[in-house]
Amino acid sequence: MRTRRVFLGGGALLAPAWACADPASAHADGPLVLVNTVYPPLVNPQGHPSGEGVDIDIAREALKRGGHGGPIDIQWVPWKRALFMLERGLADFTTTVNYGTERDRFLHWSLSYRAGKHYHFYTRRDSGLKLSRLQGLQGLRLAVSAGYIYPQPVLDQVGGRVELARDVGAAVQLVERGRADVVLVTALVGLWEVRTLGLADRLDRQPLQHFNPEPTFMGFSRKSPRTPAALAAMNAGLAAMLRDGSVARLEQRYAAPDRASKGL
């Protein structure tokens, strides 16, 4: 959806309220503000029956183990807005973020809690496709979700034949409806969407996989005065959870077929 811009008589741009808030007073008191975009099952929509999502659960548990006893307020917004809020100090932290030099200007990074991403490829069961090498993608239409960064070696193979969807679920549906030949998804998110959409008997996961070693972090706003204490608590909690296997257990809970698809 295109953002509507309203220009005033003097040439000023009327910005939304969240962009005009005073960073120093936006959340001086009250709960720690966690801002993120919906990305099931890592970040679920508000009120989802299966829970808040893998990475939200990890963040809450890590902060608790690290000694942070205060409440956490979650705000679900588009990803670009989430980054803007963190840059301005309008939110304290986010989950599920990858390192980038541009983001390093306004974020402090937690310990990595997920070592890289496994990408899977799904096609229609009746397509006859059997993909085992990246070169097999040549000539195919690749569905992806807009707003995310995908591995360049994969994109190079399709030569610009990329179909953009508004989110991961919509990208999966492009393949099911025949508007794309193959969809590229991270392993856990793709599995979740295929099951949630009821397409497990219509789509096949191909033997082809691609691993991107880029790790995943929690990112804390450099402008938030609460970042030093919250980041220290997060790192202490994440270290403990990685040692005892809690992170892996949370991922498995959301990946379990019955729990993921039925909210049990």
- What CA–CA distance (Å, rounded) separates 264 from 261? 8
Domain borders along the chain are 31-114+215-262, 117-212
> pLDDT value at position 82?
94
Cβ atoms of 96 and 43 within 8 Å: the answer is yes
Q: What is the pLDDT along the chain (264 residues), one digit of tens a residue?
A: 333 333 233 334 444 554 555 554 445 567 999 999 899 999 999 999 999 999 999 999 999 999 999 999 999 998 889 999 999 999 999 999 989 899 999 999 999 999 999 999 999 999 999 999 999 999 999 999 887 778 999 999 999 999 999 889 999 999 999 999 999 999 989 998 999 999 999 999 999 999 999 899 999 999 999 999 999 999 999 999 999 999 999 999 887 644 433 333
In the block, residue with structure tokens 């998110």: 189
Which CATH superfamily includes the segment(s) 31-114+215-262? Answer: Periplasmic binding protein-like II (3.40.190.10)
The two structure tokens encoding residue 36: 């993120």
Look at domain 117-212 and name its CATH class: alpha beta
CA distances from 105 to 67, 86, 88, 141 (A): 27, 11, 11, 36
Same fold, 31-114+215-262 and 117-212: yes
